[in-house]
Structure 1
């Protein structure tokens, strides 16, 4: 791997010209035309009435898969444009244009699903047994079942059309709000205004005064835009609830559970095991507070480092470390990561104007991915980079599968990313050059457990309660802040001295329309990957092939079946979850032992 790696990604190899790309313009025009053509073709079709007629559906099915892939390519490209420069208004226009065509496409899919829904069972079974169709029989059967749980195709199409300037529009407006957020920050006697992405990287500063200032200013920055954010969140949720009502869905978790292909019993068991084991994590938070010289941690102290922070890790060194540690588990995984660095698939530069957070997005037509983050040299940044490369490897493993079989859910997506993150985080701890550095890195690792078991639990509690109250009418910004603090207090077991009332405003995930309840899948993925990681530690190099086999099945099985097939465990029972959380508890016990003489 060459030295001084480029920290900006290459989008020119996808569509040259950025948001002014003539090639992308032509791509969208053809995509729109093909959607209309398929709509006309499907609109005149009737469900097959015999096994002999199912062959006529094969070409339609091929068209549906092909257009789906092209939409993923287009969506990935415009998301990259918008993330790299929030001031690129043309990128916003392109995103709206893609959204408009996608709404028409979703109407076509609703009609297609209606054909699936109305096909008689005997004919359906004959079609699913055809060689060209059987590899995606799970996915088509899933679509057929889901279609039976929705409104008529005409009403679903109408709702999807209205969502462009309703549901999706409110989600897009959140990006507009974030683009204008500026957070005051003083450094070396100079006060400057940081973008939300830059400010977020300062919240975990080792300097308590700097951390306190940034926490206060961060909260104020979001309080300044609370009216815009509350309107956005209220109307987004209102649209979703109205749609659920028309479909006859009373449980707001019904859609996210189906999207994640998991049962409510699995979700309840997971949260119950976490809640039962929280006392040891509270003990960790209390010990950390004493190490930082305070009685209780504040919200923005939770991610603060303990002890002397390790030196900044240059980007090139992070890349070498990640590739090396991936190779210790799987040469295929290492080769993928090396290619991502060398082919400029990663946008990591620390600069103004970028969107906060990180993501990995797939480009199925070119069988590539692109990774977005803001790298500032911390151990946490290294873990984030490994996390996103884990997402990329997951997609890489599935590249040769049919399009429909690549549609894995968020919970198992977070499994692959967190597994990759664990490989690197454990390596950093093992390679520590001193006891002090080992403590800092171990504590950074434990912070992720706190995030998944407490922070994300707070998000889940907030969102479920918000939706219940939203049924009764609009909530004020103060209502939302009160709900947020209540959820944080419960999730953290009252262990903190103060909380983050406007977290609901600042967190992109609450505004996501693609995956409602963009919270519990993270915790599922973290714990599921912990269980997989423990298995990998036991079985050694032989497990790499089993891991790839598990990833291959993530788009064509429910998670309970996936776990039973590849791990031999029952996710509806507490045993697996307890074994997974025990791995994190062992880290806490090590931390408590290492720090017992420091307080």
Structure 2
């Protein structure tokens, strides 16, 4: 395979020259301050519209709010990148504090606007939405009106917003810094190496079972040592969220995540119902893979183990060439985008012990770029992680032409784009297989994704659901958290996983993302939705890229039910939609069993 030398360290200077000491970033914060000052003045003189003559004020506010959101997103993404590359960056911590204060002020003003719009009479409201400048924001504005905190006074809204900065969100930041500061010593090929958590987690796909096993138990021991500290963090995050929900009159902790994902509870329940029906084929796959490795049942530390010696190592340059080649088969815009990402240093892939453990994609809407962060250690799993994050980045790219408020899309659709990108790689790789060993390798990687979405993500959902039920009654101890985690894993995996990590609640970062409770079911939704989209793509070939871009661009201004109906013609509240995707995954499991039956 012909390879080109691509940068493995990202270029942040193109965004703001000078890192955490950037004078350009300080200018950005000053501009943000001016925009906020303007918004605060506008809101002060904004009252419930009594006629359409006052619509110009609404238009002005919407435009101002949209601009501030873009500035905040640009700033937060930059700070996230600074901390990922150096978790000990003290200057970045100071910048984060400044931006957090401004974000708090923005949220206060936005809450006031929503509440004022809520009081607008229905007839006047409908007339306002017919104004040309606001028609494209009809969905967002109705969403604001419906989701406004009607039960809270302005003083209560202000207090909650203030407490979020140094209380609620601070716990999430503390968690990330704590995990990034942890290093472990692990024996690899007779040599002890000091690794970050991210590097140690990467060892789960190591070809040597002893290395996988040692990494698993050393990490478990590390989490056990710090479990009391992590239990305090997760309890405080959940406790704050519960209190705010009570103030807002929200009775179910799942209500807010569903609203943020623009999804009906009926849709979510139908999805889990179908998944629960189809556990057995994936249990069969886990059992067969365990037998191939040399045991009667699948041990947790062997789940990511390779089943063959095929394609065990791949360089970053080879990965870039592979991804670009396969993406080019789908469409010219995707190919051009990914070439730009590799050539211009959008990706931080260095295998270093002094960086964050959590892969992510950060979007910079003002400059129309993204940055991808990961630790690339040469495995096919790393390639899939890279492709997954590039899928997020392509979604950001698609939204460049979308106006203002409609750029923000729910997590469920964000995970659709990332999963769709993985499927391009899987499908292209499967077409090129020349041997049974290669086919098994790819099937195994695909099935790992299915198990993660139908079993692992399900366990996360069950755990979070049960944890919040108990947290409503008071603090949940570390021992109880371990027990809840173990019970949830056993149920979600239908008892097919041996020696699971009872500390999954510690090292799974999604539980600590303060902006997004229940950041689990969007992955499974995105996975099955992406299967449906990809089936359409295979039918139409390169002609589908235009349709795909239109779908992504609609993702910020529609409910997921309406989005799927518009672009796929499917009703996702019915089991039939979900069963189509499940059946494709079941075929993979059956094919794996068939190929390994001899």
> For the structure 1 residues 425 and 149, does the alpha-carbon distance in structure 2 shift closer, same or farther, using more than 3 Å as the test?
farther
Is the contact made by 1:110 and 1:157 (CA closer than 8 Å) also made in structure 2?
no
Q: CA deviation at 1:16?
A: 0.8
Deviations 1:304-349 (A, max 9, x none): 1112242411212211221121121111111111111111111111
Is the contact made by 2:440 and 2:595 (CA closer than 8 Å) also made in structure 1?
yes
- Tell me, which stretches of 5 or more residues in structure 2 are unaligned? none
Which residue in 2 is equivalent to 1:163?
164
Q: CA deviation at 1:36?
A: 2.9
Q: Mean Cα displacement is larger for which, 438-447 or 275-284?
A: 438-447
Q: CA deviation at 1:148?
A: 5.1
Is the contact made by 1:117 and 1:148 (CA closer than 8 Å) also made in structure 2?
no
Which residue in 2 is equivalent to 1:325?
326
- CA distance in 2 between counterparts of 1:90 and 1:148 reads 35
Which residue in 1 is equivalent to 2:133?
132
Is the contact made by 2:319 and 2:383 (CA closer than 8 Å) also made in structure 1?
yes
- CA distance in 1 between counterparts of 2:540 and 2:171 reads 48
Q: CA deviation at 1:150?
A: 5.1
Q: CA deviation at 1:56?
A: 2.8
Deviations 1:52-82 (A, max 9, x none): 1212332222111111110010011001111
Q: CA deviation at 1:140?
A: 1.1
Which residue in 2 is equivalent to 1:382?
383
Q: How many residues align?
A: 597
- CA distance in 1 between counterparts of 2:42 and 2:298 reads 62
> For the structure 1 residues 124 and 114, does the alpha-carbon distance in structure 2 shift closer, same or farther, using more than 3 Å as the test?
same
Which residue in 1 is equivalent to 2:554?
553
Q: Secondary structure of the equivalent of 2:361?
A: strand
- CA distance in 2 between counterparts of 1:359 and 1:135 reads 30
Q: Secondary structure of the equivalent of 2:370?
A: strand
- CA distance in 1 between counterparts of 2:64 and 2:537 reads 40
TM-score (norm. length: structure 1): 0.97
Which residue in 2 is equivalent to 1:304?
305
Deviations 1:561-589 (A, max 9, x none): 11111111110100010000111111111
* 1:66-215 superposed matches below 5 A: 66-147=67-148, 151-215=152-216
Deviations 1:426-474 (A, max 9, x none): 2223223432122112201110111111111111000000000001111
Q: Mean Cα displacement is larger for which, 457-466 or 201-210?
A: 201-210
Is the contact made by 1:8 and 1:346 (CA closer than 8 Å) also made in structure 2?
yes
Is the contact made by 1:182 and 1:221 (CA closer than 8 Å) also made in structure 2?
no
- CA distance in 2 between counterparts of 1:116 and 1:84 reads 42
> For the structure 1 residues 531 and 150, does the alpha-carbon distance in structure 2 shift closer, same or farther, using more than 3 Å as the test?
farther
Which residue in 2 is equivalent to 1:593?
594
Is the contact made by 2:74 and 2:365 (CA closer than 8 Å) also made in structure 1?
yes
Q: CA deviation at 1:271?
A: 0.6
Q: CA deviation at 1:44?
A: 2.3
The answer as to 2:423 corresponding to 1:422 is yes
- CA distance in 1 between counterparts of 2:87 and 2:438 reads 37
Is the contact made by 2:312 and 2:380 (CA closer than 8 Å) also made in structure 1?
no
- Tell me, which stretches of 5 or more residues in structure 1 are unaligned? none
> For the structure 1 residues 545 and 108, does the alpha-carbon distance in structure 2 shift closer, same or farther, using more than 3 Å as the test?
same
Deviations 1:57-114 (A, max 9, x none): 3222211111111001001100111111112222222222211211111101111212
| Deviation >3 Å, runs of 4+ | none
Deviations 1:363-402 (A, max 9, x none): 1111111111111121111111111111111111111111
Is the contact made by 1:287 and 1:592 (CA closer than 8 Å) also made in structure 2?
yes
- CA distance in 1 between counterparts of 2:567 and 2:34 reads 43
- CA distance in 2 between counterparts of 1:105 and 1:389 reads 30
- CA distance in 2 between counterparts of 1:484 and 1:358 reads 23
- CA distance in 2 between counterparts of 1:60 and 1:248 reads 27
- CA distance in 1 between counterparts of 2:376 and 2:387 reads 12
* 1:355-504 superposed matches below 5 A: 355-504=356-505
- CA distance in 2 between counterparts of 1:226 and 1:339 reads 43
Which residue in 2 is equivalent to 1:341?
342
Which residue in 2 is equivalent to 1:577?
578
Q: Secondary structure of the equivalent of 1:165?
A: helix
Q: Secondary structure of the equivalent of 1:468?
A: helix
- CA distance in 2 between counterparts of 1:433 and 1:349 reads 32
Q: CA deviation at 1:2?
A: 7.8
Deviations 1:252-272 (A, max 9, x none): 100000000001110011011
Q: Secondary structure of the equivalent of 1:202?
A: helix
Is the contact made by 1:206 and 1:309 (CA closer than 8 Å) also made in structure 2?
no
Is the contact made by 2:63 and 2:404 (CA closer than 8 Å) also made in structure 1?
no
What do you get for the CA RMSD once the two structures are aligned? 1.4
- CA distance in 1 between counterparts of 2:431 and 2:210 reads 31
* 1:465-544 superposed matches below 5 A: 465-544=466-545
Is the contact made by 1:430 and 1:438 (CA closer than 8 Å) also made in structure 2?
no
Q: CA deviation at 1:149?
A: 5.0
* 1:246-325 superposed matches below 5 A: 246-325=247-326
